[in-house]
Structure 1
Amino acid sequence: MAYKWSTKEQMTDLLCNLVSIPSITGSEAEIAFPRYVVEQLQALPYFQQHPEHLHAHPTGDGRYFVTALVKNKPETKDTIVLVSHFDVVDVEDYGNWKEFAFAPKKLSEMFRANKADMPADVQEDLGTGDWLFGRGTMDMKCGLALHMSLIEEACDGGFDGNLLLLTVPDEEVNSVGMKAAVPLLLEWAEKFDLSYKTVLNSEPMFTRYPGDRNAYIYNGSIGKVMPGFLCYGKETHVGEPLAGLNGNFMSSHITTMMELNTAFCERVENEVTPPPTNQILKSLKKDYSVQIPHRSVTLFNLFLYEWTMEEIVTGMRRLATMAAEQIKESYAANAERYAQLDSFTPTDINVNVYTYDELLKYAGETYGDERVERIRQDVLNNTTKQDERDVTINLVDELAILCKELSPMIVLFFAPPYYPAVCSRRNPLISSVVSDMIAYANEQHGVELKKQNYFGGISDLSYVGLQHPASTLTPLTTNMPLWNRGYSVPLEALERFDVPVLNLGPVGRDAHKWTERLDTDFAFVKLPNMLRVCIRKLFTEQTSVSSII
């Protein structure tokens, strides 16, 4: 059969067509995008003969993910899942170039014409002529284009096993697409008699530090949680600040102690998670008045590799306890100094520390479960267009207001999303294939691939199995107010869908920036051959690895 996605020019055109659909997360184009993918794959003779193998599936929120299975021999079970996402971040950062953000060839021409005005590293890449600019070129519609090319080859019998393309929405926000897909993959395993050997992603290689020019192959993906601390002080007039306790003052102590704190960096082999950083820091005072803002919140991004949720909660609680003591000491020292300036008798303050689960249980025991549930439902019923982080904060805040007799207090909680860390570094099949691919890439293409255990950019591979039993996640789920109330992760399905992972993708630069770009020579000349070899090795490598059926 004559291939339509096999040459560099053909795959570049396919990528440009995919990019031209502005599938920003949450947009109408994101909803429409799967239709184009299905239409393109439907043109292949295999799917005309096997229409039941190609579907767009609803995620439950108006969006869709696509699956395309190529199974040439009924008796063949071994299957590799090719996973990608088709949503992209917005293009506000493009400024004057915004109109052309989804027109890669035109944007690249314009950048070349204005080369002197570009950043130095962009000028360097523009000089080679191998780079294609535009939103989604790197992250990650190139990966989808490559997978469509591999599916086309599989339709012609190019591989000894089955390939299952899976492309999903919403990776950039909450991974709704991937979480909806895992139960479906379990169903298809039974329906089509499949045995999943590997989930192969083609997210682009991410730099580990500024100026990093290494090429990577990943056998895992970093995880993350979002711990938050609601600070409830004591209200007072701004003219009598020492008669109360400012919530912003409390949050500032926690933020200072948490921000970039390397005690929360986790090391695995030679890799270290980035330190935590603040995502939200704000007063919960809704309007201006001369009352101090006695309630505030601070929320952090915390990456993880192998730490358990119990270890994380213990660490967060320890930090909150230290902050409470620091707040007490700082308040006392300032009150003592002020007492020397005016006739004022300092009073002691104590700051209590609770988890959300502890606060919830106290509220139920003190005020009754019915009243607590009514408060929670009132918050959930008024969430129109609210971000999940804001809804979470409101749930904790209303509960703290109900139990204000416990104040001053710090309440530890977690907000969505939750990305489990995943890693196949101890899997013999993945270890063997990674070693083989490092050697092959060097010998055949002059590419020095470096093994990295964890892809650092957050990916949908997080929802391929669980490193720890679902039961160990209780410290997270009981302290996440939105768990099963608008946000959840299919933990039971993830425990069943325990499949090794691998990520081999293109070289790009500046993901989520207006200078996002793709090395087309690597992506569409070297990488297709490397992916073919990788897939064949995954199918033929003889190791004692069990696969899910």
Structure 2
Amino acid sequence: MLHCRDDVLFLTKQLVNIESIVNSDGEKEISQAIYMLLSSFPYFIEKPKQIIKQQTIADEQERYNILAFVKGTKNKSDKTVILMGHMDTVGIDDYNHLKDKACQPAELMEALKQEKLPAAVEDHLNSGDYLFGRGVLDMKSGVASHLYLLKYYSEHPEELEGNLLVVIECDEEDGSHGILSALKELKHLKEEHGFDYTAAINADFVSPRYEGDENRYIYKGTVGKLLPSFFITGAETHVGSCFEGIDPNFIAAELTKQISYNPDLCNEAFGETTVPPVSLKQTDLKPTYTVQTALSAYVYYNFFIHSWSPKEVLEKLKDQAEIAFTNALTEFNKKYKQFSLASGQPYMDIPWKARVLTYEEMNQLLIEENGTDYIDHMTQFKEQLLLDKELDTRMYAARVVEEAWKWMGDRSPAIILFYSSLYSPRIEVTGKDEKEENLIASLEQAISDIQPHYEYPIATKNFFPYISDMSFVALSDDEAGIQAVSSNNPSWGTKHYVNYQDIRDINVPVINIGPYGFDAHKQFERMELKYSLEVVPNLTNNVIQNLLSKA
């Protein structure tokens, strides 16, 4: 067992003290701090080219990844284990009047003692078993564990059979520019040094899955995440004649009722089930107040997957949207009849029918009808839209659909379904090839070795349940699944692009062994010291040794 607690705690605090909120200058600051730290290690003083500070590619922000590797001398081997983790955090506004202490654990914990806290938080604060602060759990203690192991093997390369490569990436909390850029460097190192990437170990946080859950989880593979989005058009009318048109917000409300929290949209695989989708935004697209109903509305949903492809999700959601649209029209008709009866005004049959198209279907239709006129117009429109730096990829995509809709010959009410953000691919690690078999066996052996030294159960599950950069080191989707993403994302190739071939070129099985705690992304973020500072580094080290010693 490595006696690593004090060293990992020291590194954790050093990292937490740097406010590295995503999309801020703090990301540059922390990357430089990590680079300078590694540059001070004797091993890297002798081998400075084995540390790389890499600026992200095609990124509106200036920020950097740090990559570093140690070549073992125990036995010459090309086998290489990747340790990965992110240096950025979410913001600190949730700390309210304590935000100036959010990145100072000692000061924060002292201040929290004067606050009225939930009972569980107060117990943890007073126990001495937890460290509080932004990033302690997600995931600077995990990064500290990796840095400790890198330092250890830089001092003891004779104990390493093969190579250890650490990737500390930026921008995990937003657009994953960090890991997507790092893939280029990983491919370059593979070619230059002949690295055979055998496995990747991420160190993102783990938490209880339910009240009273005492398991400390290790995850093989990860959940996938999509952002299915819906542009909804109605029939505009004056609010004084509301039944002469149909409000797209009315259709949007029925759509959210149909999709949000719908257990039929949970994806089960290997005995594990995703949480259902839930709305992340619902709005109309009226720029100002008028007494007309809106022309269009926009809504998007978080959508987790274990085994479904992006193509299958589109098919399922198209069905759900048709159900919702039909229900909305039925309810509208019912209310209209009731109003006509009550007011004595004549009732007229409504002229609309449920109509749902994917963006790909609409775009293809418009190309067939309008040819190069439409293509050239949309190309120029997208380029002009890029000048508006206030638009994120989600609103950019909505504006593209809104503009394309103007070219439709039939502009009766409709729902257009598309993707408006990054697809984080699902990854299955099931033992389907030799590398996966070796990783699973190495993990099982590590748990068997370490469990006697820790009081709580260490359990494995198949899918890491949160979004992470694990999604970008392997690919379980086929070409048709990925094509459904690119063909149905209106910002693809302009505001947004992912080279999925880079992922295929690395394609390494990945697990997550990360710090344990509570309330990541919340004001009481905290990590349990013993598991995070002692068990995690030793479990990770044990897996490394098991993997590299296999014939």
TM interval, shorter chain, is: over 0.9
CA contact (8 A) 2:83 2:146 kept: yes
Q: Secondary structure at the match of 1:381?
A: helix
Counterpart AA for 2:532: A
CA distance in 2, matches of 1:174, 1:404: 36
Give how far 1:327 is off: 2.1
2:178 matched to 1:174?
no
CA contact (8 A) 2:92 2:134 kept: yes
1:126-165 C-alpha deviation (Å, 9 max, x unpaired): 2320211100000001111111110011112232221001
CA contact (8 A) 1:332 1:346 kept: no
The answer for the alignment partner of 1:459 in structure 2 is 468
2:394 matched to 1:384?
no
CA distance in 2, matches of 1:531, 1:16: 20
Which of 20, 23, 27 is the aligned partner of 1:26?
23
- Mean Cα displacement is larger for which, 261-270 or 324-333? 324-333
Change (3 A) 1:183 1:352: same
Q: Secondary structure at the match of 1:329?
A: helix
For 1:318-329, what aligned pairs fall within 5 Å after superposition?
A: 318-329=319-330
Q: Secondary structure at the match of 1:182?
A: helix
CA contact (8 A) 1:363 1:369 kept: no
Give how far 1:379 is off: 4.4
Give how far 1:309 is off: 2.2
Q: Secondary structure at the match of 2:300?
A: strand
Which of 504, 509, 514 is the aligned partner of 2:513?
504
Please give the root-mean-square deviation of Cα atoms over the aligned residues, in Å.
1.8
Which of 342, 346, 349 is the aligned partner of 2:348?
346
Q: Secondary structure at the match of 1:398?
A: helix
Give how far 1:339 is off: 2.5
Structure 1 unaligned segments of length 5 or more: list them. Answer: 543-549
Q: Secondary structure at the match of 1:219?
A: strand
Which of 409, 416, 430 is the aligned partner of 2:439?
430
Change (3 A) 1:373 1:142: farther
CA distance in 1, matches of 2:335, 2:181: 53
Counterpart AA for 1:539: L
2:360 matched to 1:361?
no
The answer for the alignment partner of 1:444 in structure 2 is 453
Which of 405, 413, 416 is the aligned partner of 1:411?
416
Q: Secondary structure at the match of 2:52?
A: strand
Which of 41, 46, 54 is the aligned partner of 1:57?
54
The answer for the alignment partner of 1:95 in structure 2 is 96
CA contact (8 A) 1:338 1:344 kept: no
The answer for the alignment partner of 1:545 in structure 2 is none
Give how far 1:469 is off: 2.1
CA contact (8 A) 2:268 2:274 kept: yes
Report % sequence identity.
28
CA contact (8 A) 1:232 1:296 kept: yes
Give how far 1:402 is off: 2.8
CA contact (8 A) 1:351 1:407 kept: no
CA distance in 2, matches of 1:529, 1:497: 26
CA contact (8 A) 2:423 2:485 kept: no
CA contact (8 A) 2:146 2:537 kept: no
CA contact (8 A) 1:507 1:522 kept: yes
CA contact (8 A) 2:518 2:525 kept: yes
CA contact (8 A) 1:470 1:495 kept: no
CA distance in 1, matches of 2:403, 2:470: 35
2:399 matched to 1:394?
yes
Counterpart AA for 2:489: M
For 1:34-73, what aligned pairs fall within 5 Å after superposition?
A: 34-60=31-57, 61=59, 62-73=62-73
The answer for the alignment partner of 2:224 in structure 1 is 223
CA distance in 1, matches of 2:184, 2:276: 33
Which of 466, 483, 490 is the aligned partner of 1:474?
483
Counterpart AA for 1:66: I
Q: Secondary structure at the match of 2:257?
A: helix
Q: Secondary structure at the match of 2:240?
A: coil
CA contact (8 A) 1:70 1:162 kept: yes
The answer for the alignment partner of 1:547 in structure 2 is none
2:11 matched to 1:14?
yes
For 1:79-228, what aligned pairs fall within 5 Å after superposition?
A: 79-111=80-112, 113-114=113-114, 117-155=116-154, 156-157=156-157, 158-228=159-229
User: How many residue pairs are counted as aligned between the two chains?
Assistant: 536
CA contact (8 A) 2:79 2:195 kept: yes
Give how far 1:380 is off: 4.3
CA contact (8 A) 2:226 2:310 kept: no
CA distance in 2, matches of 1:344, 1:369: 46
Give how far 1:483 is off: 1.4
CA distance in 1, matches of 2:52, 2:484: 37
Give how far 1:71 is off: 0.9
1:7-28 C-alpha deviation (Å, 9 max, x unpaired): 4233222211111111100001
CA distance in 1, matches of 2:450, 2:197: 25
CA distance in 2, matches of 1:380, 1:407: 28
Counterpart AA for 2:143: L
CA contact (8 A) 1:335 1:346 kept: no
CA distance in 2, matches of 1:253, 1:373: 36
Q: Secondary structure at the match of 2:398?
A: helix
Counterpart AA for 1:370: D
CA contact (8 A) 2:80 2:164 kept: yes
The answer for the alignment partner of 1:522 in structure 2 is 531
Give how far 1:310 is off: 2.3
CA contact (8 A) 1:218 1:502 kept: yes
Counterpart AA for 2:301: F
CA contact (8 A) 1:354 1:412 kept: yes
CA contact (8 A) 1:216 1:449 kept: yes
CA distance in 1, matches of 2:437, 2:3: 32
Q: Secondary structure at the match of 1:354?
A: strand
CA distance in 1, matches of 2:455, 2:102: 32
CA distance in 2, matches of 1:177, 1:199: 16
The answer for the alignment partner of 1:538 in structure 2 is 547
CA distance in 2, matches of 1:319, 1:7: 52
CA distance in 2, matches of 1:527, 1:372: 53
Give how far 1:352 is off: 1.5
CA distance in 2, matches of 1:10, 1:199: 23
CA distance in 2, matches of 1:334, 1:526: 62
For 1:227-238, what aligned pairs fall within 5 Å after superposition?
A: 227-238=228-239
CA contact (8 A) 2:76 2:161 kept: no
CA distance in 2, matches of 1:390, 1:51: 43
Give how far 1:216 is off: 0.7
Q: Secondary structure at the match of 2:137?
A: coil
The answer for the alignment partner of 1:546 in structure 2 is none
- Mean Cα displacement is larger for which, 70-79 or 84-93? 70-79
CA distance in 2, matches of 1:394, 1:167: 35
